[in-house]
């Protein structure tokens, strides 16, 4: 029997899995793309293949959830700090930074460690620091060490210049590589129930990272196609003041396109202050075309 995978691999087949709700339709689609696995065989055989794929994906789901980015150091013994000023579910004050995190961090220099805790009481957090012995470019991979529910919500830079938000720390971030998934900022219950966090899923995430570039795969993942509702400040200030001359939009970056309901300040100031000579919008980027319900201050273009 001939078995072809059309280059999908386990990660490609599993990339859309965000919860048990999506398994059946996702695999119905993926099966057609797998190739010639048992297409001439019995339905029982095909169901067995699908059951095996589902089991593999469920076993490796934690590995799919990860955030990969690069930092570059110009000299030996610098310290880079992962920022903890993410605005998920924040109120209008800076005294509500209490999102928990539990991460396995591969720092890209042979060091891997697990860090857990909560954000600081305000946006001035020192973050999670790590010292590099030599100058160079390092790929940092962050994965959930515990629950996948909104596991990445604590991450993000802030608008101030203290702690991990110091400009020198922001300037070390040179590339963001991996797609953004719904489970990074949402619980499985929110995804299956169609509800949204109140605020700040990607607010300020890369704000002020002046040397940032987009890796070729960076965008909102296909799993966002099941999301129709977002809260306030969904992507507000996401790339504000990313003003370096190297910053440009890759060919695939786009906002989730199935959104129909948005809160206040949906993409407010998303690219304000992006003034580098290389920056151009790609041919696919667009606001979601099916939006029917909006809050105030929907979007701002300087």
pTM comes to 0.80
Q: pLDDT class for 301, splitting at 50, 70, 90?
A: low
Range with the poorest average pLDDT among 16-20, 89-93, 176-180, 291-295: 16-20
Tell me the domain boundaries of the chain: 9-64
Q: pLDDT class for 36, splitting at 50, 70, 90?
A: very low
| 241-263: average pLDDT | 96
For the record, the structure tokens of 114 come out as: 């697990």
Looking at residue 33, its pLDDT comes to: 46
Q: What is the mean pLDDT of the chain?
A: 83
| pLDDT tens sequence across 72-100 | 999 888 999 999 999 888 766 555 678 89
Q: pLDDT class for 270, splitting at 50, 70, 90?
A: very high
């Amino acid at each position: 029997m001939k078995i072809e995978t059309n280059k999908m691999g386990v990660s490609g087949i599993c990339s859309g899995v965000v919860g048990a709700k999506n398994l059946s339709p996702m695999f119905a689609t993926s099966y057609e793309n797998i190739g010639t696995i048992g297409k001439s065989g019995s339905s029982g055989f095909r169901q067995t293949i699908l059951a095996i794929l589902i089991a593999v994906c469920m076993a490796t789901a934690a590995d799919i959830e990860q955030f990969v980015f690069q930092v570059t150091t110009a000299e030996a013994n610098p310290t880079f700090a992962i920022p903890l000023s993410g605005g998920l579910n924040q109120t209008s004050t800076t005294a509500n930074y209490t999102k928990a995190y539990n991460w396995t961090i591969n720092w890209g220099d042979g060091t891997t460690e697990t860090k857990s805790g909560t954000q600081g009481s305000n946006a001035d957090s020192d973050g999670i620091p790590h010292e590099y012995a030599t100058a160079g470019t390092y790929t940092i991979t962050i994965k959930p060490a515990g629950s996948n529910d909104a596991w990445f919500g604590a991450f993000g830079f802030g608008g101030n210049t203290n702690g991990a938000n110091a400009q020198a720390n922001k300037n070390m971030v040179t590339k963001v590589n991996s797609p953004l998934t719904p489970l990074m900022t949402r619980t499985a219950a929110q995804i299956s129930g169609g509800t949204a966090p109140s605020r700040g899923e990607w607010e300020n995430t890369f704000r002020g990272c002046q040397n940032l570039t987009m890796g070729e795969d960076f965008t909102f993942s296909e799993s966002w196609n099941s999301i129709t509702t977002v809260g306030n400040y969904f992507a507000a200030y996401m790339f504000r003041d990313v003003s370096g001359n190297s910053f440009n939009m890759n060919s695939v970056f786009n906002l989730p396109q199935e959104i129909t309901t948005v809160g206040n300040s949906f993409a407010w100031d998303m690219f304000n202050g992006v003034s580098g000579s290389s920056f151009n919008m790609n041919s696919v980027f667009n606001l979601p075309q099916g939006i029917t319900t909006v809050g105030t201050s929907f979007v701002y273009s300087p």
